[in-house]
């Protein structure tokens, strides 16, 4: 357990975060709803519903009407006249998005109270006059009309035992267990409601942002079920008495009024798909009152009477980002039901939505821990677009609402969490690697110091022999050596090990130590090379080899015997700077075992008035400051331009041209020069 938590702590943390986020989605607090609503609104803004014609006409209580009839509410005779004029045009149904909850102030009874009349004759005469409420009641009774009802938590002292006009038939259970309910209701006068064909709810659910996205298609007031205004108007307009509700164990599935079948969520919630506003759908109430309208506009239409005047405060926000009158919301509901353009929020899709989010988030998190961040970002982007495309495809093709906002939020949190843990992991690895690199650097520096100690001290031989090594890294794969084996005789070598770094340095050290040990035995050069080669062949440095020049010279006779084993051509030039190049006649050592000393080919020359120069390919292939390679011709050019020609000046001149300040050399630079014109040993400080 102790090892499990540190190893998989990031995955455990991710699981806890995912559980928290999914739990928030299931509990669905307002803040989560507001995130989900972002995508629901976005769909409608990108794909707004456009209509040229509508089956719904809105008689508008607008600013023009207020200026004509004065302060609202108007007396009931105005509404009666409007209703009468509409009825003449033979509409399907007329719905009022207006309450008539109090008696008309201009009725005879209210007039007597207002003026405190005492004359019995005058009172009797006034009582015989038909009131505006009675006039309006008659017109309601002569029309297919629907009045508004609103759910309330407060009980009204004027309220009567209101009953719905629609009759509900249930199949599969009791809808009261699932629908939204209010203990009380607010409506119009009893006399008015008793003379209409329908009562429809205009209750909207409270939204934190005030945007009306949905409404309950059926709702309970005082334990009685009422349809929403739009549904009730369709029932009355279709001359139906019944509404059918199909349920199962989890809630409501469909609500029907012949011939329309409407899918809802489990609570009877209806998601509205708004169309772009049509000014042609509106007609001023004052124009209808005056009879100044085309009656064909109302024939077989669903007529809503409501207010758009700003002073009446019946304006609502919609997902389109447009503020419209509340009456137009009910108009959209009617249109959605008639042409089946309403939106769906399927509970089964909701579960699939959660499952896919969990799968995508898990895949993204796991990949963020397994692959580099630059590769995990495209995976996140792919997940992001797969959610977006799925959401828009379902909306466009099936009119279904898929929440893409919250899943994207979960994916983003998951991705950032994965990157955070990857950062911690990479940081841990980086620190560990830094420690290893620091340790390795110290080891390389130590190896380099040890290697430098292996190079011979040649300061006293500078008159006739000089060599220099400049490593490209901490440890060089090149080496040179000079060994005094007698009064006048010396062995020397210059070699280049294949590869670089510590391994090449170790291989070099082995070759160097073997050559040095064998040279001191005063055996022939050919045998020394023979033994060095076979020792390297049998070593465990597989795949490595050495190109080298081995030689011996006598300062008294001036003779130099050398073996070039796969190395660069040896440069030889006289005082007149005539150059000659002596090519290799053997393969590199350490590759093929020699069976006899005769396999080693040597060559002897006399260095009287001549200079012998050997260098590695790090010299010929080294970069000059202008970016070009030096080459053998470049070495010649350097020597020709020297003010004086002796071993130390030659080697230092070549080295200075290549070691000009670049951050890293291309290869190790190693060079050796031999000139036996002056063989006097120099005195050196101890």
> Which residues lie closer than 8 Å to 29 by C-beta, 6 or more apart?
none
Taking only the tens place, the pLDDT of each residue in 520-565 is: 888 899 999 999 999 888 886 777 899 999 999 999 999 999 999 9
So what's the pLDDT on residue 178? 93
> What's the chain's Rg over C-alpha atoms?
51
Identify whether the C-beta of residue 273 lies closer than 8 Å to the C-beta of residue 334: no
- Domain boundary assignment for the chain: 1-49+347-454, 51-339, 456-674
* Residue entry with tokens 């008035």: 609
Tell me how far apart the alpha carbons of residues 357 and 22 are, in angstroms, rounded to a whole number. 9
Q: Per-residue confidence at 347, pLDDT binned at 50, 70, 90?
A: confident
CATH number belonging to the domain at 456-674, selected among 3.60.40.10, 3.20.20.150, 3.40.50.1000, 2.40.110.10: 3.60.40.10
Average pLDDT over residues 66-89: 90
Average pLDDT over residues 654-674: 84
Instruction: Identify the helix (H) or strand (E) that includes residue 293.
Output: none
So what's the pLDDT on residue 507? 81
Tell me how far apart the alpha carbons of residues 159 and 321 are, in angstroms, rounded to a whole number. 37
Taking only the tens place, the pLDDT of each residue in 371-402 is: 887 788 888 899 999 999 999 999 999 999 99
- Tell me how far CA of residue 141 lies from CA of 135, 145, 311, in angstroms: 10, 8, 30
Instruction: Identify the helix (H) or strand (E) that includes residue 563.
Output: strand 559-565
Q: Which two tokens stand for residue 524?
A: 């022939």
Average pLDDT over residues 260-276: 93
So what's the pLDDT on residue 431? 80
Tell me how far apart the alpha carbons of residues 525 and 507 are, in angstroms, rounded to a whole number. 21
Tell me how far apart the alpha carbons of residues 379 and 373 are, in angstroms, rounded to a whole number. 10
Q: Which two tokens stand for residue 115?
A: 């003026």
Q: What angle do CA 10, 15, 16 make, to 5 degrees?
A: 100
Identify whether the C-beta of residue 270 lies closer than 8 Å to the C-beta of residue 217: yes
So what's the pLDDT on residue 427? 82
> How large a percentage of the chain has pLDDT more than 90?
53
- 58 pLDDT more than 60: yes
Q: Per-residue confidence at 158, pLDDT binned at 50, 70, 90?
A: low
Identify whether the C-beta of residue 476 lies closer than 8 Å to the C-beta of residue 451: yes
Paired with 469 in beta bridges are 670
Average pLDDT over residues 18-27: 89
Average pLDDT over residues 20-45: 90
Phi, psi dihedral angles at 684 (to 5 degrees)? -120, 150
Tell me how far apart the alpha carbons of residues 29 and 24 are, in angstroms, rounded to a whole number. 7
- 444 pLDDT more than 90: no
**Mutual angle of helices 229-237 and 326-339, in 10-degree steps:** 50
Tell me how far apart the alpha carbons of residues 179 and 251 are, in angstroms, rounded to a whole number. 9
Q: Which two tokens stand for residue 99?
A: 């309450």
- 686 pLDDT more than 70: no
Whole-model pTM over 0.75: no
- 120 pLDDT more than 60: no
Long-range contacts at 351-356 (CB < 8 A, ≥ 24 apart) = 353/402, 353/403, 353/407, 354/22, 354/25, 354/26, 356/387, 356/390, 356/407
Of 401-405, 448-452, 575-579, the poorest mean pLDDT is in 448-452
Average pLDDT over residues 593-614: 92
So what's the pLDDT on residue 558? 93
- 118 pLDDT more than 70: no
């Amino acid at each position: 357990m102790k090892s499990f938590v540190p190893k998989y702590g990031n995955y455990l943390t991710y699981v806890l975060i995912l559980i928290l986020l999914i739990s928030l989605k299931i509990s669905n607090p307002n803040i989560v709803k507001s995130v989900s609503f972002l995508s629901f609104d976005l769909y409608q803004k990108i794909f707004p519903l456009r209509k040229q014609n509508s089956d719904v006409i809105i008689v508008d209580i607008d600013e023009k009407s207020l200026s004509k009839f004065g302060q609202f509410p108007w007396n009931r005779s105005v509404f009666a006249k409007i209703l009468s004029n509409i009825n003449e045009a033979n509409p399907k149904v007329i719905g009022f998005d207006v309450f008539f909850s109090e008696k008309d102030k201009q009725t005879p009874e209210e007039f007597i109270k207002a003026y405190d009349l005492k004359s019995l004759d005058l009172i009797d005469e006034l009582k015989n006059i038909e009131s505006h409420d009675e006039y309006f009641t008659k017109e309601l009774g002569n029309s297919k009309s629907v009045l508004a009802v609103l759910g309330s938590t407060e009980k009204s002292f004027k309220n009567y035992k209101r009953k719905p006009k629609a009759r509900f038939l249930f199949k599969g259970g009791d809808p009261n267990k699932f629908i939204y309910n209010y203990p009380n209701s607010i409506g119009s006068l009893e006399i008015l409601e008793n003379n209409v064909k329908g009562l429809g709810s205009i209750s909207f659910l409270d939204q934190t942002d005030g945007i009306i996205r949905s409404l309950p298609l059926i709702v309970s007031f005082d334990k009685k079920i009422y349809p929403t205004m739009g549904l009730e108007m369709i029932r009355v307009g279709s001359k139906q008495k019944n509404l059918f509700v199909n349920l199962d164990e989890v809630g409501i599935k469909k609500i029907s009024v012949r011939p329309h079948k409407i899918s809802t969520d489990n609570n009877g919630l209806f998601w509205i798909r708004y169309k772009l506003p049509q000014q042609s759908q509106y007609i001023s109430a004052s124009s209808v009152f005056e009879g100044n309208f085309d009656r064909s506009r109302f024939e077989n239409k669903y007529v809503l009477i409501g207010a758009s005047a700003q002073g009446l405060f019946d304006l609502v926000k919609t997902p389109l980002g447009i503020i419209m009158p509340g009456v137009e919301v009910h108009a959209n509901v009617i249109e959605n039901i008639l042409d089946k353009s309403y939106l769906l929020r399927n509970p089964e899709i909701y579960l699939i939505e959660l499952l896919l989010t969990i799968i995508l988030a898990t895949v993204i998190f796991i990949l963020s821990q397994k692959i580099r961040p630059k590769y995990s970002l495209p995976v996140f982007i792919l997940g992001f677009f797969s959610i977006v495309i799925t959401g828009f495809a379902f909306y466009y093709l099936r009119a279904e609402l898929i929440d893409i906002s919250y899943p994207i939020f979960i994916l983003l949190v998951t991705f950032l969490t994965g990157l955070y843990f990857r950062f911690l992991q990479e940081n841990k690895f980086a620190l560990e690697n830094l420690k290893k690199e620091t340790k390795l650097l110290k080891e390389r520096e130590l190896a380099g110091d040890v290697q430098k100690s292996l190079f011979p001290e040649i300061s006293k031989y500078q008159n006739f022999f000089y060599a220099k090594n400049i490593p490209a890294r901490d440890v060089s794969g090149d080496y040179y050596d000079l060994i005094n084996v007698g009064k006048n005789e010396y062995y020397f070598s210059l070699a280049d090990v294949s590869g670089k770094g510590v391994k090449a340095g170790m291989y070099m050290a082995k070759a160097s130590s073997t050559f040095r040990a064998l040279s001191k035995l005063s055996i022939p050069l050919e045998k020394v090379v023979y033994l060095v080669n076979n020792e390297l062949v049998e070593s465990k440095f597989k795949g490595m080899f050495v190109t080298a020049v081995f030689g011996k010279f006598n300062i008294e006779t001036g003779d130099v015997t050398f073996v070039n084993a796969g190395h660069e051509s040896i440069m030889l030039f006289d005082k007149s700077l005539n150059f000659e190049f002596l090519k290799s006649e053997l393969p590199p050592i350490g590759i093929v075992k020699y069976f006899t000393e005769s396999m080693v080919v040597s060559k002897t020359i006399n260095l009287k008035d001549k200079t012998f120069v050997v260098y590695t390919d790090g010299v010929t292939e080294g970069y000059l400051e202008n970016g070009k390679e030096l080459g053998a011709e470049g070495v010649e050019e350097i020597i020709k331009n020297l003010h004086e020609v002796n071993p130390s000046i030659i080697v230092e001149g070549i080295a200075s041209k290549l070691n000009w300040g670049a951050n890293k050399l291309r290869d190790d630079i190693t060079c050796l020069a031999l000139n036996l014109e002056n063989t006097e040993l120099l005195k050196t400080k101890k």
